[in-house]
Amino acid sequence: MSIIPSGAKMGSTNLACRHCDTALDLLEMRAVNASNLTPDGLFQCPYCSSWYYPEIGLLHSLYGDGQVEKEYFGTPLSLGGTQKRDLNHVKAGEHRPIKMHSLEPGYEYDSIYLLGGHRDGVDEDNWLSFDLVGAQNRAMLGDSVLISLLRTDATEITINATLRENRASKSPIGFGDTLEVVYAATTQLGGVTNPPWIDLLQEAQEAIRQGNTLAALPVLRSAVDNCLIRQMFVYQLWDGHEQESARQSIEDLEDKYDPNRITIAKHGLEQATGTRLTDGPYDTLWADFSQVVEERDAIIHSETASQLAHPDQSTAIDFFNTTVSLLVAAYDLFGFHNSSA
């Protein structure tokens, strides 16, 4: 799995202007009032002075170089979010509350995950194995130390390093040995209001990280419903509608068909752009996403099964990547990246 997913480069946020293609830098972000980042409020690009809807800025950032299908898991999703790496030390047998060195002013933790750990001062050739255990914030170092990372408040985390009770007596790590722990975080600007689909994707991502893969499936489906409707809404505004009439035209469309993602993917997109998400250039991706939905339905509506099946973590991550790819594909079909429009 890629450690640095697409969506925000180090030093910049996950918002990129579709007009000048520039990612919003963290320093520029300091001048932004977070409470102005809302779904229906336009944001002015500090580089070219064009206005864009923040969620379109996120989709443009995810779209990146125009390759739609890629790994999105782990990307910061909250409007204006970013990602950081850091390292810190903890003594075996202790836990240590820390503030991330590089947390920007106004930012707080969204999600944290371990990247590695080893005994301080030991040659890389002699590092013990580092294996995640069930979730991405817990790992075993060799077979004697459990390292875990816990968010204790918005801007503080705790690193724990505990020795296993029945470790081998010749275990290379003992009480008080210093461990160096490397971790990464996605961070979010406190006080922003995300559209529902972003909150839903963040929930799904966190559930998968924690090993709650089953909980992620219905959330992924709902995120697609909402994101397609939001993109249709912004498209209508782009096309000259006022907010009220844009809402009305989507409601009219949904009166005519069923109010769900398929209505937008098929009829909404066709009406707006003459293309569909359900067939055309992204028909395979649509089929892949339909399998995510079928998987969800098979698990949740399987009345004869005596217990719920849980997709394994890598399958759930694939589902997440397929889902976000589909949203970026819709962004492509709506033509939002066309800066001249």
Instruction: Classify burial at 30, counting beta carbons within 10 Å of its beta carbon; exposed 0-12, middle 13-18, buried 19 or more.
Output: exposed
Q: Which long-range contacts (CB under 8 A, 24 or more apart) does 37-42 make?
A: 37/79, 37/80, 37/189, 37/192, 37/193, 38/192, 38/193, 39/193, 39/194, 39/195, 39/230, 40/243
Segment interacting with Zn ion (CB under 5 A) among 11-19, 80-88, 156-164, 249-257: 11-19
Cα(199)–Cα(228) distance, integer angstroms? 15
Q: Is 42 among the residues that bind Zn ion (CB under 5 A)?
A: no
Number of residues counted as binding Zn ion (CB under 5 A): 7
Q: Is 234 among the residues that bind Zn ion (CB under 5 A)?
A: no
**What interhelical angle do 54-63 and 213-238 show, nearest 10?**
110
Q: Which of 19, 138, 230, 337 binds Zn ion (CB under 5 A)?
A: 19
- Where in 49-78 is the site for Zn ion (CB under 5 A)? 50
Segment interacting with Zn ion (CB under 5 A) among 48-56, 140-148, 259-267, 297-305: 48-56
Q: Which of 42, 48, 298, 341 binds Zn ion (CB under 5 A)?
A: 48
Q: Is 272 among the residues that bind Zn ion (CB under 5 A)?
A: no
Burial 51-66 (b: 16+ CB within 10 A, else e): ebbbbbbbbbbbbbee
Q: Is 45 among the residues that bind Zn ion (CB under 5 A)?
A: yes
- Closer of 20 and 168 to Zn ion (Cβ): 20
Q: Is 185 among the residues that bind Zn ion (CB under 5 A)?
A: no
Shortest distance, position 44 Cβ to Zn ion, whole Å: 9
Q: Choose among 41, 58, 55: nearest CA to 7.
A: 58
**What interhelical angle do 313-334 and 283-300 show, nearest 10?**
140
User: For strand 12-16 and strand 82-91, is the pairing parallel, antiparallel, or unpaired?
Assistant: unpaired
Shortest distance, position 22 Cβ to Zn ion, whole Å: 5
Take residue 306 and report the two structure tokens written for it. 């005596």
Q: Is 32 among the residues that bind Zn ion (CB under 5 A)?
A: no
Q: Is 17 among the residues that bind Zn ion (CB under 5 A)?
A: yes
- Closer of 19 and 84 to Zn ion (Cβ): 19
Q: Is 1 among the residues that bind Zn ion (CB under 5 A)?
A: no
Shortest distance, position 19 Cβ to Zn ion, whole Å: 5
CA atoms within 13 A on the CB side of 40: 8
Take residue 241 and report the two structure tokens written for it. 């509608």
- Closer of 20 and 154 to Zn ion (Cβ): 20
Shortest distance, position 21 Cβ to Zn ion, whole Å: 7
Give the sign of the dihedral formed by CA 196, CA 228, CA 312, CA 81: negative
Q: Which of 1, 3, 20, 42 binds Zn ion (CB under 5 A)?
A: 20
Segment interacting with Zn ion (CB under 5 A) among 13-21, 55-63, 207-215, 292-300: 13-21
Binding site for Zn ion (CB under 5 A): 17, 19-20, 45, 47-48, 50
